[in-house]
Chain A
């Protein structure tokens, strides 16, 4: 599996938000609720990553955690890719 870089992940996240008419702020500390990044958007981001790396992501292995910010999303997917 060729893991996507954090910049590439940000790029995909931007695309997900753009399709909803929203923008991704530069600040990774931005709150997901405030920028309108919802569960469905997170799901779409995961599918975009899977399509890029041509492999299914295993979210179960990452365990349950609070995901509040842009950084939380990027951290989680980076971590799953590294497994």
Chain B
């Protein structure tokens, strides 16, 4: 493993401005307060801005580091990290690891915690180099970073700011997302990255204000991306570049699509190109060999994500173990049904699952959040959505029960657990 870069010249973004969306305070990377720590350390932070001094310290010293939001810091995780040799710094009660667990730090090592959406969070080893995946000169932009500190998506935005000149950051926290459009307007945000759930919530809550944010770059990732959310964003931002990114702690940023369409071209499968990930489909599962992989994850990584190939595009529909619903022997993708529902103009968000039922084992059911302008009432909307799905899906794929929710449920990861 190479040691992290030490020279100012290696961090062209060191002069970029960092804005705390909560308080409005700002400074450059170089002006951040010192945050010395004894590696290996777990920096536990109350908010995203508080994590940035630790990142800058790591960039200069290469000291082994894990960044995590205090809200994710459960007692079991704290114990696990202490037993893995990490000292606790930041807003968490300072504590040294037990003597038996103390060890030499790995120079340059950064640890990320997976989202835990498929079980307990796992630690994945990276370095600043493997996390810095944006190559080529970028136009100067001011990025909104809404992610929980220490997650892969958070690091993607943060390393972009470090590695490229003119990539300012406005950091907000998942708890403050209802007000991010006002913050973005106040601080001149021109680029924003979020999950499809994040964008849907924003369109639903503050669509008019969102349209006033002068966005030139919109990025989506972290969840399956459907055509409806891309179209809604394109309608509001006809001139912006809209990108969706398939990325994870394990394989890094592996698929980036800029054509405004859900999924990616089938021609991208099984291509061997120097320095680029190799993407394959094996038994409906996305399999990736990535140069941006985490430590120890060389070779083909079975992502656990299910894909469907249709009309020349490869669509990522959801987790393999949850996406497929068996209805009396006929198999239907929950993600595909969700995509059909979310394409209806009266639907802001949908979750699709299988529900135990006699004769056929499971039937397709859905939770739906109506869009702001939907005024048919629940019975009328149920009828309209059923008819909509009947025109677009096989019988067994049409949701037989539709439950209406008032708001889009979202977790700190900005995902909605669909």
Q: Give me the interface of A with B, judged by CB distance under 8 Å.
A: 19, 39-40, 42-44, 46-48, 51, 56-57, 59
> Could you tell me the distance in whole angstroms from the C-beta of A33 to the nearest C-beta in chain B?
14
Known pairs A39-B328, A40-B396, A43-B357 / 10 extra A-B pairs, C-beta < 8 Å:
A19-B383, A39-B359, A40-B360, A40-B395, A42-B359, A43-B360, A43-B400, A44-B401, A46-B357, A47-B357
Inter-subunit contact A40/B355 (CB<8 Å): no
- Is B365 engaged at the interface, CB distance under 8 Å to the other chain? yes
Residues in B with CB closer than 8 Å to A57 are 358
B316-342 contacts to A, CB under 8 A, are: 327-328
Nearest chain-B residue to A76 (Cβ)?
Answer: B358
* A44/B358 contact (C-beta < 8 A), A19-B386, A39-B328 known: no
Q: Are B401 and A48 in contact (CB under 8 A)?
A: yes
Q: CB-CB < 8 A to B395: which residues of A?
A: 40
Q: What is the bound-complex CA distance between A43 and B330, given in angstroms?
A: 15
B358 touches A40 (CB 8 A): no
Q: How many A-B residue pairs have CB under 8 A?
A: 38
Q: Tell me which residues across on chain B come within 8 A of A51, comparing CB atoms.
A: 401
Contacts of B51 in A (CB 8 A): none
Minimal beta-carbon separation of B60 from chain A (angstroms): 60
Interface size on B, residues (CB 8 A): 16
Q: Is B363 an interface residue (CB 8 A)?
A: yes
* Chain A proximity of B344: nearest CB distance (Å): 16
Chain B, Cβ-Cβ closest to A67? B359
Answer whether A40 and B328 are a contact pair too, CB < 8 Å, given A46-B358, A47-B357: yes
Complex formed: what's the CA distance from A9 to B157 in Å?
56
Taking a contact as CB atoms under 8 Å apart, the answer to whether A47 and B359 are in contact is no
Contact A40 B401 (CB under 8 A): no
Q: A19: which B residues are within 8 A, CB to CB?
A: 383, 386
CA distance A44 to B357 in the complex (A): 8
Residues of chain A within 8 A of B365, CB atoms compared: 47
**Closest B residue, CB atoms, query A42:** B359
- In the bound complex, residues from chain A placing their C-beta under 8 Å from that of B358 are 42-43, 46, 57, 59
